[in-house]
Structure 1
Amino acid sequence: MSPSPRCFTEREVSRHRTKDSCWVLLGTRVYDVTAFLRMHPGGEALLLRRSGHDVSREMDGPPHRHSENARRWMEQYYIGELDRSCGGDEAQTLRERRNAAEQTEGTKAEKTTDKKEDEDEEEEEEEDQSGAYNRCSPVDLDKDLVDWRKPLAWQVGHLGEKYDAWVHQPVDRPIRLFGNPLLEAGTKTSWYWVPVVWLPIVFYLSWYCYTTLAQGTTRIVLTSDVSLSIHKSIFPLLFLMGWFMWSFIEYCIHRFVFHMKPPAHNYYLITLHFLLHGQHHKSPFDGSRLVFPPGLASLMVGSFYVLLQHTLPEILGTSVFVGGLCGYVVYDMIHYYLHYGSPKRGSYMYGLKAYHVKHHFEHQRAGFGITSTFWDHPFNTVIPDEKF
């Protein structure tokens, strides 16, 4: 049997209207959305202004009608019911006593858990992530399609035709892909490693290309008698050309590789899709998996370099390459910011964040642009405007 919901008075709810404790109502249901403030696509200020109040009208729109995935996501933060739905005002004293008893039991349970040093790693991680009232663990560990207490990488391939629907129902909980600690660690990357690894290469190659072109010895041979001198002033143009090329590659990878629909009968393609991108859609706010691990990224970066070196003269190809590499770094940083940043309302980044969140929660087959929506237009994958 599931435990009875906790009961809160309107006065209790109204006291939680800060960044440290932010509660909202959906009818008579109470939600602690403190952990969601930074993630909210409308910005934390918008959510704070509605704290302590019923947000049913905002959920239904306009201006934005929240998707079924968004509503399912909100259930992760459910903590109880408003007092009028829990037995009437005459039972308030009994309810307060019960709540106090539950808090005492919770404290005892935490102390008991602290003593169990031999608990397996997955269970400890779930406790850390769940927070007060288990607000971030909506998954029924006994009834979900996969066993969250075990690594997921080798399970998802067995989901078959159920995989696509399952992977696009996001949750706010950690994912463990592999049982081997070293292998698992290799799938996680802190955001700062992207600029730390790649920006020194960008700066060095930019200096190298510019100074080489500045020598005035670079020429493109058109015919046996005609050649064209390349001036150093052409470097910024080549750099921007590489950046523009990367924006197209970014779109194509996201749409055709990350969002391929693996055949329901192919265990290996389903597993590959989950490792490449499916795990990000299942747990979109896992901060350790929002950027490419440098090892995996080097395969893509190396392929881009080799292609340009075989297509253009050496120094020109390198100039285009460094622009593309810089575009990749900006892409990864923007992607991380779209998940965890709080851009100013009305800004370019604010629009991108709202666009990307719609891609995650409602329009998984559209909105493939990350740093811009440019390529979504010619390929007809723009997320449609909402109609009421």
Structure 2
Amino acid sequence: MSPSTSPRFFTKREVTRHHTKDSCWVLLGSRVYDVTAFLRMHPGGEALILGRSGKDVSREMEGPPHRHSENARRWMEQYYIGELVPESDTENDTLELQNLRERRNTSEQTKEKTENGVATEKFDHQKAPYNLCSSVDLENDLVDWRKPLAWQVGHLGEKYDAWVHQPVDKPIRLFGNPLLEAGTKTSWYWVPVVWLPLVFYFSWSCYSTLARGTTRIAITSDFSFMLHKYSFPLFFMMGWFLWSFIEYCIHRFVFHMKPPAHNYYLITLHFLLHGQHHKSPFDGSRLVFPPGLASFVVGTFYAILNSLLPEMVSMSMFVGGLCGYVVYDMIHYYLHYGAPKKGSYMYSLKAYHVKHHFEHQRAGFGISTAFWDHPFNTVIPDEKFES
């Protein structure tokens, strides 16, 4: 709800009626929030919110066990829909509530025309499946959301780092050109469609070649040994493990570089690579790598392995690393949009990754695993979500 829109008014009885996955409302004091769209995004799971639907969640926001960050509180304001009024059976209070709503409706009617006089469609709260409030204050934000953002963010300078780490629930348009913009978006299923056939083919090729019993690795001019076909799973898993380290390094040192405030081009590059994901973490069209961009990383990975290791060893490790990349991208998508079972490995990963987005942007760089955060001392402090 934009600041210029008059608040709606609801009774406690109206709020408590919204307690399902299709319509879930909560209270913060006297403020009413429609959090239906946030249910599956919540790192603690849907059940935690549904169990408190229609109730005041102020204590849960403050903790313990988990005190929500300022970003989490700012994010929640996107779902604000109105104010709670005391419910009473007296005629005077009923008339007061009706008057409040009538004044609000009158106020909205005066704003139904845009600046150029063209009538706009009035929002029907009762028919809407969930809250459709504006995600940002279009008048006061540091950028103009009505225009492509790619060429604006570089001008933010020293304000960029704080701005980009204040997430919003709003799709981002990077470029004005439709073809260029479309090239930055990728549906999740294209990752397995493009890369898994290569994983299967090269896995079969490596195993078949090793099964012939003709592949030898020369240690010196006088000594060599045979590579058995059962060595393929070992090299495959070594490649996967190597990818997990590369995943960590790229996320920490490339995606989370802090561009100099005076460098327009590095700020723009950072935003295109990863900043836009932190600004709009639930933009489903930009949660996985476009295959074209990923091919440069994949090609570099193969070239380095091939230059350092014997052919069959490098190819076996490469296909393991490629499989690890596919799993990483699928896990990343699932952490944003999945609803893992409480107590599962994916549940803990989702909570870990969401805390990285909302509170600990300089830690928690592991995505498919938090393993590498431990030796590099970037582990997010453990907090238990209330059951």
**Fold similarity call, TM over 0.5:** yes
- Is this contact kept in 2: 1:78–1:135, CA < 8 A? no
Question: Is 1:374 aligned to residue 374 of structure 2?
Answer: no
- Is this contact kept in 1: 2:188–2:288, CA < 8 A? yes
**Partner of 2:74 in structure 1?**
72
Q: Counterpart amino acid of 1:238?
A: F
Do the aligned partners of residues 225 and 34 (structure 1) sit closer, same or farther apart at CA in structure 2, a change above 3 Å counting? same
Question: Is 1:199 aligned to residue 196 of structure 2?
Answer: yes
Question: Is 1:176 aligned to residue 178 of structure 2?
Answer: no
Question: Is 1:265 aligned to residue 267 of structure 2?
Answer: no
- Measure how far apart 1:91 and its partner are: 4.2
Distance 1:109 1:68 in 2: 32
- Is this contact kept in 1: 2:187–2:284, CA < 8 A? yes
Distance 1:197 1:92 in 2: 61
Do the aligned partners of residues 338 and 133 (structure 1) sit closer, same or farther apart at CA in structure 2, a change above 3 Å counting? closer
Distance 1:10 1:312 in 2: 68
**Partner of 1:276 in structure 2?**
273
SS in 2 for 1:310: helix
**Partner of 1:57 in structure 2?**
59
- Is this contact kept in 2: 1:16–1:23, CA < 8 A? yes
Q: 1:361 aligns with which of 358, 362, 366?
A: 358
SS in 2 for 1:22: strand
Do the aligned partners of residues 288 and 296 (structure 1) sit closer, same or farther apart at CA in structure 2, a change above 3 Å counting? same
SS in 2 for 1:223: coil
Distance 2:200 2:105 in 1: 55
- Measure how far apart 1:44 and its partner are: 0.9
- Is this contact kept in 2: 1:174–1:283, CA < 8 A? yes
Q: Percent identity?
A: 78
- Is this contact kept in 2: 1:23–1:34, CA < 8 A? yes
**Partner of 1:40 in structure 2?**
42
Question: Is 1:255 aligned to residue 236 of structure 2?
Answer: no
Unaligned runs of 5+ in 2: none
- Measure how far apart 1:225 and its partner are: 1.8
**Partner of 2:159 in structure 1?**
162
SS in 1 for 2:32: strand
SS in 1 for 2:143: coil
- Measure how far apart 1:385 and its partner are: 3.2
- Measure how far apart 1:92 and its partner are: 3.1
SS in 2 for 1:172: coil
- Measure how far apart 1:282 and its partner are: 0.2
Question: Which structure shows the higher helix fraction?
Answer: 1
Unaligned runs of 5+ in 1: none
Distance 2:91 2:39 in 1: 32
- Is this contact kept in 2: 1:15–1:52, CA < 8 A? yes
Residues 276-302 of structure 1 show CA distances to partners (whole Å, capped at 9, x for unaligned) of 000000000000000000000000000
- Is this contact kept in 2: 1:30–1:81, CA < 8 A? yes
- Is this contact kept in 2: 1:136–1:173, CA < 8 A? no
Q: 2:14 aligns with which of 12, 15, 32?
A: 12
Q: Counterpart amino acid of 1:231?
A: H
Q: Counterpart amino acid of 2:84?
A: L
Distance 1:2 1:133 in 2: 20
**Partner of 1:350 in structure 2?**
347
Q: 2:182 aligns with which of 181, 185, 208?
A: 185
Distance 2:70 2:91 in 1: 33
SS in 1 for 2:241: helix
Give the TM-score normalised by structure 2.
Answer: 0.90
SS in 2 for 1:80: strand
- Measure how far apart 1:63 and its partner are: 1.4
Q: 1:234 aligns with which of 231, 234, 254?
A: 231
Q: Counterpart amino acid of 2:208?
A: T
**Partner of 1:216 in structure 2?**
213
**Partner of 2:314 in structure 1?**
317
Q: Counterpart amino acid of 1:10?
A: K
- Measure how far apart 1:137 and its partner are: 1.6
Distance 1:371 1:289 in 2: 17
Question: Is 1:290 aligned to residue 287 of structure 2?
Answer: yes
Do the aligned partners of residues 62 and 135 (structure 1) sit closer, same or farther apart at CA in structure 2, a change above 3 Å counting? farther
Q: Counterpart amino acid of 1:70?
A: A
State the Cα RMSD in Å.
Answer: 2.7
- Measure how far apart 1:3 and its partner are: 3.5
Do the aligned partners of residues 105 and 190 (structure 1) sit closer, same or farther apart at CA in structure 2, a change above 3 Å counting? farther
Do the aligned partners of residues 322 and 110 (structure 1) sit closer, same or farther apart at CA in structure 2, a change above 3 Å counting? farther
- Stretch deviating more after TM superposition (88-97 or 164-173): 88-97
SS in 2 for 1:295: helix
Do the aligned partners of residues 103 and 290 (structure 1) sit closer, same or farther apart at CA in structure 2, a change above 3 Å counting? farther
Distance 2:92 2:206 in 1: 79
